[in-house]
Structure 1
Amino acid sequence: MSPVIGVSAYAQSASWGVWEMPAVLLPGAYTDAVAAAGAVPVLLPPVEGVAGAVERLDGLVLAGGGDLDPGLYGAEAEEHTAGVQAARDGAECALLAAALERGIPVLGVCRGMQLLNVARGGTLVQHLPARVGHEGHRRRPGVFDEHAVSVAEGSLTAAVLGRTRVDAPSYHHQAVDVLGEGVVATAWAEDGTVEALEYTGVPDVLGVQWHPEMGRDPALFDWLVERASDRCGRLAADSSTRRHSASQHPWKS
Structure 2
Amino acid sequence: MAVRPLIGVSTYLETGARWGVWELAAALLPAAYPRLVQGAGGLTAMLPPDAPQHAEATVARLDGLVIAGGPDVDPARYGAERSPRTGPPAPERDAWELALIEAALAARVPVLGVCRGMQLLNVALGGTLVQHLDGHAETVGVFGGHPVKPVPGTRYAGIVPEELMVPTYHHQAVERLGDRLVPSAYAADGTVEAVELPAERGWALGVQWHPEMGEDLRVMRALVTAAS
Same fold per superposition (TM over 0.5):
yes
Where does residue 39 of structure 1 map in the other structure? 42
C-alpha displacement of 1:50? 4.1
Equivalent position to 1:5, from 4, 7, 11: 7
Distance of 1:199 and 1:95 partners within structure 2:
16
Distance of 1:103 and 1:74 partners within structure 2:
27
Where does residue 214 of structure 1 map in the other structure? 213
Kept in 2: contact 1:152–1:164 (CA 8 A):
no
Where does residue 95 of structure 1 map in the other structure? 100
Query: What percent identity do the matched residue pairs reach?
Result: 52
Equivalent position to 1:169, from 158, 162, 167: 167
Superposed CA deviations along residues 130-178 of structure 1, whole A, max 9, x for unmatched, are xxxxx1x3132222211011110111001111x2311111000000001
Kept in 1: contact 2:131–2:171 (CA 8 A):
yes
Work out whether 1:194 is the aligned partner of 2:192: yes
Distance of 2:12 and 2:54 partners within structure 1:
12
Kept in 2: contact 1:187–1:194 (CA 8 A):
yes
**Paired residues, number:** 222
Where does residue 21 of structure 1 map in the other structure? 24
Kept in 1: contact 2:197–2:205 (CA 8 A):
yes
Larger helix proportion, structure 1 or 2?
1
Structure 2 residue matching 1:179: 3-state secondary structure: coil
Kept in 1: contact 2:109–2:202 (CA 8 A):
no
Distance of 1:179 and 1:97 partners within structure 2:
16
TM-score normalised by L of structure 2: 0.94
Distance of 1:202 and 1:102 partners within structure 2:
10
Distance of 1:91 and 1:57 partners within structure 2:
16
Superposed counterparts of 1:228-239, under 5 Å: 228-229=227-228
Structure 1 residue matching 2:176: 3-state secondary structure: coil
Distance of 2:89 and 2:28 partners within structure 1:
15
Structure 1's unaligned 5+ residue stretches are 130-134, 230-253
Distance of 2:180 and 2:214 partners within structure 1:
29
Superposed CA deviations along residues 72-122 of structure 1, whole A, max 9, x for unmatched, are 100011111114211110000110111111111110000000011111111
Distance of 1:110 and 1:72 partners within structure 2:
17
Kept in 2: contact 1:99–1:106 (CA 8 A):
yes
Distance of 2:17 and 2:147 partners within structure 1:
34
Superposed counterparts of 1:1-253, under 5 Å: 1-12=3-14, 13-48=16-51, 49-51=53-55, 52-129=57-134, 135=135, 137-161=136-160, 163-200=161-198, 201-229=200-228
Distance of 1:217 and 1:83 partners within structure 2:
32
TM-score normalised by L of structure 1: 0.85
Could you tell me which amino acid in structure 2 is paired with residue 15 of structure 1? R
Superposed CA deviations along residues 31-78 of structure 1, whole A, max 9, x for unmatched, are 110011111100001111441211110000010000001001000111
Kept in 1: contact 2:98–2:120 (CA 8 A):
yes
Structure 2 residue matching 1:128: 3-state secondary structure: coil
Q: Which has the larger radius of gyration?
A: 1
Higher relative contact order (CA 8 A, sep 6+): 2
